[in-house]
């Protein structure tokens, strides 16, 4: 059986305080003959999505809305996968379909080899969703939140790992406090622990750092990286593109319900055609020099010029030579390589054109 084996856990191990506790599985009910037959079909990816379509019905005078238009991609097992897109692109719809909160119109979704329609029980057992919103009873303690969530997944009391999970997310000292009294960062960590009570091999984080401070973002990403190191496949949506570039092994971009890119992070960053050079000259600039080779030229201060050019059509040396032809001597030069944000803007702008 691919992935973490679902063996009975020795309850003494639940007192462990390391992050490996987040990956310890529990034993579900024995599979039916049909489920057992499906289990023999070893999944080639953690999540497989094929020709996924979602159309929302017309509301009042508004026409039907096609939120997903035949999206197909795989999420490789064991990595951190970035799912990016502008607001309204269809990311949340896709996540809600995987979570069983939205019914798809057509297409197939398999989670850890289990079809969400034909084998929805095992599909749900193999995925944990961390929503953007804070969703737990504020009058429950963190320990009670995890105990209740474990019960909803059918985890028997002997196999629950609430203590180990709280220790892993550094909330054991807050186990008896009302959840409403936790800080924003603590609440986010509790959501991750809540999503892991049934030991899913796939964890989906929907905008986990939206509206949080820099230190909290760093703590959350450390926790996510540790989970991934323990074998959890992570799917991440975020509007902080620098985070996606640093964390993700592979990135898919959705725009207007369509998949417009799906590549390794390195390959995607390499797609950027534009490059920026910042030039300091020997005298005050009369204005930005205009050349066909420049995509954009801006005066940043009286003697500093920033030029964007197409690296496939020109070189930095050619750009400098053109500036010198305007009567300026070059005193300093710095360049900035393209990053994921440049590619994202380029691809999604094409979709708006």
Residue 338, pLDDT score: 76
CB-neighbour burial class of residue 125 (10 A; exposed 0-12, middle 13-18, buried 19+)? buried
pLDDT tens-digit profile of 265-322?
A: 999 988 877 788 999 999 999 888 889 889 889 999 999 999 988 888 888 899 999 9
pLDDT tens-digit profile of 32-58?
A: 444 444 444 444 699 999 999 999 998
Residue 29's pLDDT band (boundaries 50, 70, 90)? very low
- Report percent pLDDT > 70 for the chain: 86
Section 220-232 average pLDDT: 90
Q: Are 144 and 197 in contact (CB under 8 A)?
A: no
pLDDT higher than threshold 90 for residue 348:
no
pLDDT tens-digit profile of 145-193?
A: 999 999 999 999 999 999 999 998 889 999 999 999 998 888 888 999 9
Residue 21's pLDDT band (boundaries 50, 70, 90)? very low
Sign for the pseudo-dihedral over CA of 95, 125, 131, 243: negative
Residue 15, pLDDT score: 32
Cα end-to-end distance, the chain, whole Å: 47
Section 233-259 average pLDDT: 93
Residue 168, pLDDT score: 86
Residue 235, pLDDT score: 96
How many Å separate Cα 262 from the centre of its chain?
13
Global pTM?
Answer: 0.75
Residue 220, pLDDT score: 84
Residue 242, pLDDT score: 87
Q: Give, in degrees to the nearest 5, the angle at Cα 8 between 3 and 9.
A: 95
Residue 171, pLDDT score: 92
3 state SS of 301: strand
């Amino acid at each position: 059986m691919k992935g973490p084996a679902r063996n009975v856990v020795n309850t003494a191990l639940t007192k462990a305080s390391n992050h490996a506790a987040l990956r310890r599985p529990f034993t579900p009910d024995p599979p039916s003959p049909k489920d057992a037959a499906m289990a023999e079909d070893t999944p080639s990816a953690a999540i497989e999505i094929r020709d996924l379509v979602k159309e929302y019905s017309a509301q009042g005078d508004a026409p039907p809305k096609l939120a997903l238009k035949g999206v197909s991609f795989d999420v490789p097992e064991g990595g951190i996968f970035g799912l990016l897109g502008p607001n309204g692109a269809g990311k949340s719809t896709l996540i809600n379909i995987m979570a069983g909160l939205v019914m798809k119109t057509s297409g197939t979704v398999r989670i850890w080899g289990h079809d969400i329609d034909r084998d929805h029980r095992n599909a749900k057992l193999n995925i944990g969703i961390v929503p953007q919103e804070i969703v737990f009873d504020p009058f429950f303690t963190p320990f009670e939140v995890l105990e209740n969530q474990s019960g909803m997944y059918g985890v028997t009391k002997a196999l629950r790992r609430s203590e180990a999970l709280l220790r892993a997310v550094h909330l054991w000292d807050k186990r008896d406090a009302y959840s409403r009294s936790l800080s924003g960062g603590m609440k986010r960590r509790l959501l991750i622990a809540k999503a892991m009570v049934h030991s899913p091999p796939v964890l989906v984080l929907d905008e986990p750092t939206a509206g949080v401070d820099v230190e909290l973002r760093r703590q959350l990403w450390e926790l996510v990286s540790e989970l991934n190191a323990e074998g959890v496949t992570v799917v991440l949506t975020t509007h902080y593109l620098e985070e996606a570039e640093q964390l993700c092994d592979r990135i898919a971009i959705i725009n207007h319900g369509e998949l417009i890119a799906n590549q390794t992070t390195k390959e995607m960053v390499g797609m950027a055609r534009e490059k920026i050079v910042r030039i300091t000259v020997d005298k005050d600039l009369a204005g930005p020099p205009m050349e066909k080779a420049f995509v954009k030229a801006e005066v940043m201060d009286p003697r500093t010029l920033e030029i964007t050019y197409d690296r496939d059509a020109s070189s930095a040396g050619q750009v400098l030579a053109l500036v010198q032809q305007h009567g300026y001597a070059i005193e300093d030069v710095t360049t900035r390589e393209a990053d994921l944000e440049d590619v994202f803007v380029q691809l999604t702008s094409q979709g708006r054109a």
